[in-house]
Amino acid sequence: MSKRFIVRKAAVLGAGVMGAQIAAHLCNAGIPTLLFELAAKDGDPNALARKAIDNLGKLSPAPLGRKSVAQDIIPANYSQHLPLLSECDLIIEAVAERMDIKESVYQSIAPHIGPNAILASNTSGLSITALGAFLPESMRARFCGVHFFNPPRYMYLVEVIPTPDSSSEVLDQLETILTSQVGKGVVRAKDTPNFIANRVGVFSMLATMVHTERFGLAFDEVDALTGTLIGRAKSATYRTADVVGLDTMGHVIKTMQNTLPNDPWHAHFAPPAWLQGLIAKGALGQKSGAGVFKKVGKDILMLDPKSGDYIKGSGEASADAEGALRQRGWGDKLKSLRAADDTQSQFMWACFRDLFHYCAYHLEAIADNARDVDLAIRWGFGWNKGPFEIWQEAGWEQVTQWIEADIAAGKTLSNAALPAWVKAAGRVGVHEATGSYSPASNALRARSSLPVYARQYFPDALAVETFNKGETIFETESTRCWHQGDGIAILTFKSKANSIGSGVLQGIWDAVKVAEEQFDGLVIWQDKENFTVGADLSEAIPAVMAGRIDEFDAAIARFQQTSMRIKYASVPVVSAVRGLCLGGGCEFQMHSAKTVAAHESYIGLVEAGVGLLPAGGGLKEITVRASALAIDGDVFTPLKTWFETVAMAKVATSALEAKDMKLMRPTDSVVMNVHELLFVAKQEAKALSAAGYRAPMPARNITVAGDTGIATLQALLTNMRAGNFISDHDFEVARRIASVLCGGEIERGSQVDEQWLLDLERKHFVALALMEKSQQRIAYTLQNGKPLRN
Question: In 58-91, which positions are buried (b, 16+ CB within 10 angstroms) versus exposed (e)?
Answer: eeeebbbbbeebbebbbbbbbeebbeebeebbbb
pLDDT tens digits, one per residue of 52-92:
999 999 998 999 999 999 999 999 999 999 999 999 999 99
The pLDDT score that the predictor gives to residue 315 is: 83
Could you tell me which residues are beta bridge partners of residue 582?
604
Q: What percent of the chain has pLDDT over 90?
A: 90
- Torsion, CA 56, CA 59, CA 64, CA 70, rounded to 10: 20
What long-range pairs does 495-499 form, CB within 8 A, spacing at least 24?
A: 495/536, 497/530, 497/532, 497/533, 497/580, 498/526, 498/528, 498/530, 498/531, 498/532, 498/533, 498/585, 499/532, 499/533, 499/534, 499/535, 499/536
The pLDDT score that the predictor gives to residue 238 is: 96
The pLDDT score that the predictor gives to residue 204 is: 97
What band does 790 get if pLDDT is binned at 50, 70 and 90? confident
Determine the Cα–Cα distance for residues 142 and 115; give it in Å rounded to an integer: 9
Instruction: Tell me the one-letter amino acid at 787.
Output: P
pLDDT tens digits, one per residue of 88-138:
999 999 999 999 999 999 999 999 999 999 999 999 879 999 999 999 999
Q: Mean per-residue pLDDT for 152-181? A: 97
Write down the CATH number for the domain with range 471-774. Answer: 3.90.226.10
pLDDT tens digits, one per residue of 428-453:
999 999 999 999 999 999 999 999 99
Determine the Cα–Cα distance for residues 389 and 331; give it in Å rounded to an integer: 12
What band does 538 get if pLDDT is binned at 50, 70 and 90? confident
pLDDT tens digits, one per residue of 355-410:
999 999 999 999 999 999 999 999 999 999 999 999 999 999 999 999 999 999 99
> Side by side, which strands form the sheet with 431-432?
431-432, 435-438, 443-445
The pLDDT score that the predictor gives to residue 124 is: 84
Say whether pLDDT at 540 is over 90. Answer: no
What long-range pairs does 134-138 form, CB within 8 A, spacing at least 24?
A: 134/102, 134/103, 134/106, 134/107, 135/106, 135/110, 136/110
Q: Mean per-residue pLDDT for 156-164? A: 98
pLDDT tens digits, one per residue of 120-134:
999 987 999 999 999
Determine the Cα–Cα distance for residues 177 and 157; give it in Å rounded to an integer: 14
The pLDDT score that the predictor gives to residue 783 is: 85
- Domain boundaries, given as residue ranges, for the chain: 10-188, 197-443, 471-774
What is the overall mean pLDDT for the chain?
Answer: 95
Would the pTM count as exceeding 0.85? Answer: yes
Alpha helices in 126-280 (DSSP H): 128-132, 168-176, 197-215, 219-225, 238-244, 246-259, 273-280
Say whether pLDDT at 309 is over 70. Answer: yes
What band does 1 get if pLDDT is binned at 50, 70 and 90? very low
The pLDDT score that the predictor gives to residue 537 is: 84
Say whether pLDDT at 606 is over 70. Answer: yes
Say whether pLDDT at 545 is over 90. Answer: no
pLDDT tens digits, one per residue of 680-701:
999 999 999 999 999 999 988 9
Domain 197-443 belongs in CATH node 3.40.50.300: no
What band does 2 get if pLDDT is binned at 50, 70 and 90? low
What band does 542 get if pLDDT is binned at 50, 70 and 90? confident
The pLDDT score that the predictor gives to residue 718 is: 95
Specify the CATH superfamily of domain 10-188. NAD(P)-binding Rossmann-like Domain (3.40.50.720)
DSSP string, 545-596: HTT-HHHHHHHHHHHHHHHHHHHT-SS-EEEEEEEEEETHHHHHHHHSSEEE
Determine the Cα–Cα distance for residues 416 and 419; give it in Å rounded to an integer: 9
Same fold, 10-188 and 471-774: no
What band does 788 get if pLDDT is binned at 50, 70 and 90? confident
The 3-state DSSP class for residue 197 equals helix
Q: What percent of the chain has pLDDT over 70?
A: 100
Could you tell me which residues are beta bridge partners of residue 651?
604
The pLDDT score that the predictor gives to residue 546 is: 82
The DSSP H or E segment spanning 491 is strand 488-493
pLDDT tens digits, one per residue of 727-754:
999 999 999 999 999 999 999 999 999 9
DSSP string, 145-178: EEEE-SSTTT--EEEEE--TT--HHHHHHHHHII
